[in-house]
Chain A
Amino acid sequence: MARTDAPPRTDVASALERLASALRDTQLTLPTPLAADSECTRVQLVEQLEDYLLPRLRQMEAPLLMVVGGSTGAGKSTLVNSLVGEDVTASGVLRPTTRSPVLACHPDDLHWFDDDRVLPSFARSSGGKPGAGGLHLVGTDRLPRGIALLDAPDIDSVVETNRVLATQLLGAADSWLFVTTAARYADAVPWDLLEAARERGTSLSLVLDRAPQEAVDDIREHLVAMLDDRGLTDTPVLVIPETTLDAGRLPAAALAPVRAWFDDLAADAQAREGVVERTLSGALRSIPDRVRTVQEAITEQDRLRTELAAQVERSYDAAHEQVDETVRSGALLRGEVLARWHDVIGTGDLMRALETRIGRIRDRMRAFVTGATPAEVELKAAVVTGVDAVVIAAADQAAERAADAWRATPAGRSLLDRGRRLDAASPGLADRTAQEVRAWQGEVLELVREEGAGKRATARLASFGINATGLTVMIAVFASTGGLTGTEVVVAGGTSALGQKVLEAIFGDQAVRALAERARVRLMERVKDVLDTEAERYTAVLDAAAPPSVTGSELAAATAELGAAG
């Protein structure tokens, strides 16, 4: 049917390659129910593309690969050995028996399978005992050319690697020979897989093994009804009755229905092509829907990532706001800073103490070493401590808010576990902030020097001292911009008014306001830098765990290309 109007397969293949590579690069790391499902779909898609679709499209004339799959203990290996008429794979009573897949085919067909065309992720071995993990190749002339049997591990035993392996092998099959038993046929796990086969359009045959003689018809009828219910109406059901094994193989009588079906298929090249074609077009049809699931998950991941990043940003923006508010409100002036300012302008107790001779000598000595009076040094320190405390508290609270916000979602919670103690400010913050504020103070002095240079102000500035002027600007930063009220105006306003007068005398009215504003902006820039570094701890965790996805659009493009080609 499809062979007459076969699409140009090379276009399809290149679209699929593009799709495979985009899917490989897709990461769905933030845990959500949708992501878990889609991750499954994604892995299966990648495997199906690499293990089945691409190799099959490149070499349409390769033999039909029939994978014998099913539950543990269902008798897959026994069936394969019996069909081949040779012990190609181990069977036994211990579950699970088969741990590494065995592929049997005619010796002339071996070359199709011993390169990386199908199942490229499996190491090949042949002869002797099959090694674990690899694909064991057995050539036997008891099998006709054009058909290969693959004995897959079980799909439901306690050995998880087997389950993963079996799913991958079934994904690579042109056709499934699914083996179940009278005790097994209603198990939930195999039906999930059969459901997947239906979704992918894989051609499927069912073997009901170990059917008790007295109940064969009853069970068969029930099984067919179950298949009908699940939209697998045309599936051939082949029955093997419960029997004693003859040297580890099924007696010919018991095997007869399966043998007849298999030989028919082996003899009829056209029927085989039909099977391949059906599975291929079914697989191609199933792809867009499944890719869409992955795309939805990518969209969800993007949305989650944006949300988590926004939560961090909001928290730290609020912290920045909080610090800015404090600086603007003049609140920094209320405590230590104001007291030290009083010292500097000489109305405080300390200044009076300094007027004693010892004080003056000490003052000079310190001034000689540091270039500043002790009162100035202490004022500078007070500014550092004040800003420091406010920034640390704001950063602590921001970290806590961000952590609380993240903890509210499973995705965020999983990220919090990765980072170390994200919910408090980082240990080095105090030092970093102090350093920044000190650097800012240096910058203010620089600003003052620049402002004073090339003007008549220079002389006045020289007489008052750059240090003292710089401090006055700092005070102006904390006092001039805020909405001070009540007594604060008297206190802060009084002192800053004095400072303001000094400054205006040096620079002029307009310049002072601009100077204070510039100094404040510089301070807040530094605070922002500090807080950004704090927030980066969060974004680093987020980026490491879930890097921004670029594959969403690539997937869409590849799907569109596939649609155009098919």
Chain B
Amino acid sequence: MSVTLQDRLTALRAAASLAGGRVDDEPIERATAVVERAGARLDLGLEATVVALAGPTGAGKSSLFNALAGEALAEPGHRRPTTSTATAAIWGDEAGDDLLDWLVVPRRHRLDGTLDGLVLLDLPDFDSVAATHRVEADRVIALADLVVWVVDPQKYADGVLHDEYLRPRAGSSDTMLVVLNQADRLDPAARRACIADIDRLLTLDGLPDVPVLAVSATDGMGIAELRDELERRVRRREQALARIAADAAAAASQLAEAVGTDGAPGDIRRQEVDHLAASLASAAGVPTVVRAVRAAHRRRGALATGWPVVRGLRRLRPDPLRRLRLDRSAAEAGDPTPRTSLRAASPVQVAQADNAARQLAAHAAGDLREPWPRLLRVAATSNDSRLHDRLDAAVAGSDLRMRKPYWWRAVGALQWVLLVASIIGAIWLAGIAALDFLQLDEVVPTPELEQLPVPTLLAVGGALAGVVLALLSGFLNRFGAARRARIADRTLRCQVRDVGRELVIAPVERELQARAELLHALRTAAGAGPTRRAVRRGRAGDHALTAGRS
């Protein structure tokens, strides 16, 4: 066997904890109980083997107990039901008191003989009108390493035994024996037929390999064989491990049933991710921000490079980015968690984002059966309340690359130079006008350049050049704004996609990961080798049974 029992128990515990909150509690509780029992049993050592004699009332458990012990320890009786609490017979000193305390069996008899290491328990019945008997029997059956089912020719086909005790233990053949007591009441042919019938019923119960022994506690028939069988098992000291292995396999298979191991998950396709990102971008107000980036760049460009005379007019309108509180300079001024003034996503956008997340979860679920589609959907929508805050933070935290281009400063300076030139020209012209008024225009000659008077050139040319320069920069800024808008769009969508990955896709992937781990743990817990085959055979037996009935 490649996996040790310890590995299987660890895997079962892991599976139980992974399954917690994902599937029904019952199989999880059973798995946890199996792991706990195994831990407790292993702590008590494997030197002793606990064997319980269980069976219906009147089958002769106490008589058989006495026959095996060789002395009258338990009191068989005619009034049914007889035994109400468990009695223990202990051979040798392998079994310490701690083991018997764990079993909670107060009535103990220590014996010597060839069965050293055996702790034999005589249990109350499980089918009488005394309900407390059944509770006690169930408790000890759950703890014993080997259960010897004691039946008699009248009761071997009882519904209680098969429906409530044997069939639920399908696949655990090596943790039990069946003993047909009172076999002396049958003649040899009837005995053989009876044993064959018990074998048939056991196969239908999914327990095909359980040894069946015919004994008689009253005339001693078959007792020696039963002793031999018990001695063999006690000496090998593997019975406790076999029980734990069978329990682990059964618990794992029950848990696997609840988890649903069939079907394959779908994948998270690019198409769904894109759809999600697009709806999140719309909900985060990315188009609004991108428009604001474009407008802000053009406004700032105009302020930096526009004609200084009319530049002031631009200031009257607010900066669109600052209005959204997306100005990096403002954000960097110490506010660690900047919030934008973007309008909260509209119900339509919220709905679209919600739909996209659900679609993604539905595709990720593929053809898995419940509870996985539900779990994946819950995972995809688990962060709904945080989603919109995080989107806002992502937008607020994005670097929109709103740095001023270097040429703005040069053009700005040039605009001032041109303005100054134009003012100088204007003043000069004013001076000439004053001289003209004083009839002194002939005294001071006006310098000319290419037959144009310099002051006029300065005044008109400066203004004209300023306006042309402003128009030219405006044209360039328009391109710059478009480029920045593109960059901002890309950056923002990238950020939004990351938020979607973290809050929608990652939880879905974690859930699928948990499922994969769970299945792996369950496979490990079910173990390889003979136990697993037995489980499968047990299932086949179930089918045979239902088929036989219908």
A residues bordering B, Cβ < 8 Å?
Answer: 71-74, 93-96, 156-161, 163, 181-189, 191, 210, 212, 214-215, 218-219, 222, 226, 325-326, 329, 331-332, 334-336, 386, 389-390, 392-394, 396-397, 400, 403, 421, 423-424, 487
Contact = CB atoms under 8 A, between A and B. Distances in A.
B348 A335 contact: yes
Contacts of B78: 182, 212, 214-215, 218-219
B352 A184 contact: no
A393 B549 contact: no
Contacts of B59: 183
Interface of B: 56-59, 78-81, 127-131, 152-163, 186, 190, 193-194, 197, 201, 282, 343, 346-352, 354-355, 358, 362, 373-374, 377, 549
Nearest to B187: A93
B127 A219 contact: no
A359 to B, nearest CB: 19
A93 B190 contact: yes
A186 B57 contact: yes
B285 to A, nearest CB: 10
Given A187-B57, A393-B354, A400 B377 contact: yes
Contacts of A421: 373
B343 A184 contact: no
Given A161-B549, A212-B78, A156 B346 contact: no
B58 A191 contact: no
B153 A389 contact: no
Contacts of A159: 157, 159
Given A183-B152, A390-B351, A394-B351, 7 more contacts: A72-B154, A73-B157, A157-B159, A187-B56, A188-B127, A189-B127, A396-B354
20 contacts: A72-B155, A95-B155, A156-B160, A157-B158, A158-B161, A158-B162, A160-B549, A161-B549, A186-B58, A187-B80, A188-B160, A189-B160, A218-B79, A219-B79, A325-B347, A332-B348, A389-B348, A393-B352, A393-B355, A424-B358
B474 to A, nearest CB: 17
Given A157-B157, A184-B154, A186-B57, A334 B162 contact: no
A331 B129 contact: no
A429 B376 CA distance: 21
Nearest to A333: B346
Main SS of chain B's interface residues?
helix
B153 to A, nearest CB: 6
Contacts of B352: 389, 393
Contacts of A332: 346-348
Interface centre among B56, B197, B355 (most CB of A within 10 A): B355
B187 to A, nearest CB: 9
A437 to B, nearest CB: 13
Nearest to B80: A186
A59 to B, nearest CB: 35
Contacts of A424: 358, 362, 373, 377
Contact of A183 (B80, B190, B282, B358): B80
A232 B374 CA distance: 55
A331 B154 contact: no
B348 A187 contact: no
A435 B58 CA distance: 74
Contacts of B152: 183
A215 B77 CA distance: 9
Contacts of B155: 72-73, 95, 183-184
A146 to B, nearest CB: 33
B151 to A, nearest CB: 10
Contacts of A161: 549
Given A158-B159, A212-B78, A423-B374, A71 B355 contact: no
Nearest to B361: A424
Nearest to B158: A156
A539 B157 CA distance: 45
A336 B362 CA distance: 27
Contacts of A397: 354
